[in-house]
Structure 1
């Protein structure tokens, strides 16, 4: 099933887009607290858009998923987009991706957060299939269902929010889902010819800087400790961080 693509009217809306969390639960909570304080200065609708990659690499993937499944901060709406790491986790759980490739991109840390040590399981069971079965039994069905329902893009008249980026020259409704989750170079090269502002994550940057009409706000929280948000009011943007 293709993932949803949402169209949103952003008039009279304060939007806070948050970059890749990757299991950094404490950093997310701190940033949300700062967003709540910042938003007090504004009237109108308030919305948080999460840009995907909630699992893998960092220490608390399970807690991040549980947090995002719970109600958003008071006074806010929240939209959580899919990232390539949620899609990879689902591919493993569905049997379309073998265990080792997922563990190599951060799945090991995700399993630790669910109380599972894949190496210990591999020593306990003779069969790899049995190891996979035990792992799949451990992940709560509600978490799997949440990841399955994540949309892949939010767009408005002037903005696009997406995990990785968009392929230049192709209408938003015709974009390939794999591109929205994984694209890099072709998107970067077209940054100055985009017809909307694109806010995305997926590629780690030290400091978010506007490149043409795209802004990458993935500041590698799992390694830097810095989780970044972009606040948009009308045509104006401001960066916030859990470290500011």
Structure 2
């Protein structure tokens, strides 16, 4: 039996954005155009996390999503990069890890020059300036991101799930961070897992999982899957 979305519901799911608000805007328009076709009762878009870091416009991405500036209702999941950003907002000692994940680009997107702040007062000054420049609604958006969501025969999360653990008992750390134990598993997870986190040049469209991370910040290709009934098709920013 083929995996199916709930009857009457069209689901869009979008892979890792990583600060590319230009691509998110373009894909949003493609989704708006796509909505004009098809026989469905309602639509929803699930964003799979990793909105920040690496690309230049993390602030703009969060602002767009926090305002729900999108053609459909949205569900925003938490990626490992949001996890690290939240921890850095609470703990200046996380600067090295945040920077290693591309977080300096996020800091710059909020109007903070890390180099100048380091000259003025070292890592503590960078943290203080960043916290002061992140709007409360952006922090609230990050805090309210979800770990997973399910629709019909599909389970959506950022990174993947641990095999042999029921989907309703998955550890949040695995949902945001897992890789090889999940990626190398060929059996059923109970539902088809729709995820990002591990970049590939093209969508991985497998029987047990769909990987939508097409390295958008680097490739310029942000990808969405469209799930409707038993149908499965893809939209991206390459065209």
Does TM, scored on the shorter chain, surpass 0.5? yes
Query: 1:3-49, CA deviations, whole angstroms, 9 ceiling, x for partnerless residues?
Result: xxxxxx83210001000000000101111101111121123101111
Matched, 1:15 2:2: no
Alignment of 1:227-242 (within 5 A): 227-242=222-237
- Among residues 147, 151, 154, which one is paired with 1:156 in the alignment? 151
Is 2:14–2:225's contact at 8 Å kept on the other side of the alignment? yes
Report how far residue 97 of structure 1 moved.
4.8
Is 1:192–1:211's contact at 8 Å kept on the other side of the alignment? no
Match of 1:27 in 2: 23
Q: Secondary structure at the match of 1:192?
A: coil
Task: Identify which range, 36-45 or 172-181, moves more after superposition.
Answer: 36-45
Structure 1: gaps spanning 5 or more residues: 1-8
Matched, 1:37 2:54: no
Match of 1:243 in 2: 238
Report how far residue 173 of structure 1 moved.
1.6
Alignment of 1:75-86 (within 5 A): 76-86=72-82
Task: Identify which range, 64-73 or 212-221, moves more after superposition.
Answer: 64-73
Is 1:72–1:78's contact at 8 Å kept on the other side of the alignment? no
Report how far residue 111 of structure 1 moved.
0.8
Matched, 1:91 2:87: yes
1:30 & 1:109 partners in 2: Cα distance? 21
Matched, 1:106 2:102: yes
Match of 1:3 in 2: none
The verdict on how the C-alpha distance between 1:10 and 1:97 changes in structure 2, with shifts beyond 3 A counting, is farther
The normalised TM-score by structure 1 is: 0.92
Match of 1:165 in 2: 160
Match of 2:201 in 1: 206
Match of 1:124 in 2: 120
1:28 & 1:196 partners in 2: Cα distance? 27
Structure 2: gaps spanning 5 or more residues: none
2:211 & 2:92 partners in 1: Cα distance? 30
Report how far residue 96 of structure 1 moved.
7.1
Root-mean-square deviation (Å): 1.5
Is 2:92–2:124's contact at 8 Å kept on the other side of the alignment? no
2:125 & 2:116 partners in 1: Cα distance? 13
Between the two proteins, the alignment pairs up a number of residues equal to: 234
Alignment of 1:171-210 (within 5 A): 171-210=166-205
Q: Secondary structure at the match of 1:129?
A: helix
